[in-house]
Structure 1
Amino acid sequence: MTTGTARRLVPLDGARLSLDRADMLDGAAPGPVELVVPTFLVEHDDGLVLVDTGLAPEAAEDPVAVYGEELGGKVRMTPEQRLDRQLERAGVAPGDVTHVVVSHVHFDHTGGLRHVPHARFLLGAGDRGAVDGSDADVAALARTRDIDPVRGGDWAFLDGDHDVFGDGAVVVLAMPGHTPGNSSVLVRLPHGPLLLSCDTAHLHEALERPAPMAADMVRADALASLHRLIGLAATLDAPVWVTHDPADWERRERFSGSRP
């Protein structure tokens, strides 16, 4: 693999989602954990990549109306955490985004797709059914209102790993299990490589004692993907940013290399 680098990675703040820690990792002690729902901008000489898109913008006003009483009551989101507002704060027009890595089709990763309808969407082939209706079980994983505005867009369904720019700087990594098309992302930055776990892991503790979690569709595949992520981190000497983990969010400057 060639080894180009992206110019920088910009983490964009998002909503918070309060869930039970025991549901995030088999064997974890029960108790509340407030997960972060971030998105990421990766600047490359050949394009601007968005990794995931967070919650639907209207959830900032009334999450219960958007997601229902049970789930919506667990959401904390301000208008400034909408993806379009975060892009504006980063000085990026939605039309500047050339690629969107959709790590998988769960609602907390697809809510802002409507803001970047002209981008190329990169999705693991296992989750294709959520877009084209070819698999009812996979389609049921997604929120239809998130997918509908971009259903006719430029989609690339990825079989295996995918090097976005052909230079190793941004690589979508096939990590099936959580969903059939779940992915993580390798970003090579000027200060070194970084792995964005996306939902291959939900808490950093998952890297210390690998175990699947309650919502994984195929638990054996999810565990194998987690072991693959850990192995890549060792081989590449790359930190893993467990993107939902609140403690990792607090360490974001170290991961992104933006600290002076």
Structure 2
Amino acid sequence: MKIHAIETGKVKITKNWRIGRGNGLMRFKNTLLDSEFTEWLPIYVWVIEHQEGLIVIDTGIPEDANKHVWFPPFMPLVQRAAKFKMTAEQEVGPQLKKIGLSPDDVRWVVLTHLHQDHDGGLHHFPNAEFVVSSKEWEMSTGIKGRMNGYLNQRWPDWFKPRIIDFSSQELFGPFAGHHTLTQARDIHLVPTPGHSPGHLSVILDEDDLSIMFAGDTSYTEELLIEQKVDGIGADPDVQQETHQKILEYAEQHRIVYLPSHDPGAKERLENRIPLSINANLELEAQAV
């Protein structure tokens, strides 16, 4: 089946955002006040032309992603630490039309989490069924969600996703639960918390490969292998545990690992390059 990597603008974050430094409140302080920034990173949306209907994973950012947010009071610091480069033509809706697909024909939109660079294109899919984990929905809605840094005031009034409760589901390898999305039983949602409390990832079974659309479980494949967690995540220990589960799954299956902001993800998808833990370890040994 065809899978498209659509880049919806770019983001530049502090280096301490990409790789966290310190603990507790000091970790957030180091993240938000860091004066050094990464290069511009892609913001990928993934589109699967599945026999049961179009599936979109995340929705990218909106044209006005840099619009100032003043509540809660720490949001100006967050916006200083994460800068976006975006035009209206780069939003997910217009880009789908450029490749001959219609947003109106999308059956499912699966949201790995509800940060603004993943939920910013909700308005393009009024006819789709949205899917979100129960924990992510709990943490992101209402005034509690605003205080947690979610921009739920930007969501369309009609946004009412289907909520997935992983706690009531069977285990999926090392993952604590799963939900099978398709009748063909080839697309699975698994809990991958850490970057956000209810973060999920999507695993597509394709022949002898598993393609993992990993959201922000890590910012790159290398950081997953090195088990380095970011500076903005809700729980660094939980995020590292998620990394270990993904690596354990990769030992049992050939997986193509696709984080949303990894510059190498599109090439790995196009060439179906599986994650190779041993190869990376050998390169590190040679460097030493």
Q: Assess same fold via TM > 0.5.
A: yes
Structure 1 residues 132 and 242: CA distance shift in structure 2, 3 A: closer
Corresponding residue for residue 203 of structure 2: 186
> Quick one: which of 1, 15, 23 aligns to 2:17?
23
Instruction: Determine the C-alpha separation between the residues in 2 that align with 1:255 and 1:22.
Output: 31
Corresponding residue for residue 4 of structure 1: none
Q: 1:8 touches 1:189 (CA, 8 Å); kept in 2?
A: no
Corresponding residue for residue 48 of structure 1: 54
- 1:36 and 2:42 aligned: yes
Which structure: larger Rg?
2
> Quick one: which of 124, 146, 165 aligns to 1:115?
124
Residue pairs, 1:238-257, within 5 angstroms: 238-255=255-272
Question: Identity, % of aligned pairs?
Answer: 22
Structure 1 residues 84 and 248: CA distance shift in structure 2, 3 A: same
| Root mean square deviation of aligned Cα | 2.6
> Quick one: which of 94, 106, 110 aligns to 1:101?
110
Q: 2:8 touches 2:91 (CA, 8 Å); kept in 1?
A: yes
Q: 2:8 touches 2:90 (CA, 8 Å); kept in 1?
A: yes
Runs of 5+ in structure 2 lacking a partner? 22-35, 71-75, 167-176, 275-288
Corresponding residue for residue 3 of structure 1: none
Deviations 1:181-230 (A, max 9, x none): 10111112357321122111112221221122111101221111111112
Residue pairs, 1:110-259, within 5 angstroms: 110-129=119-138, 133=142, 136-137=144-145, 140-151=148-159, 153-159=160-166, 160-190=177-207, 192-255=209-272
Corresponding residue for residue 67 of structure 2: 65
Structure 1 residues 200 and 33: CA distance shift in structure 2, 3 A: same
TM-score (norm 2): 0.75
Runs of 5+ in structure 1 lacking a partner? 1-6
TM-score (norm 1): 0.82
Structure 1 residues 100 and 209: CA distance shift in structure 2, 3 A: same
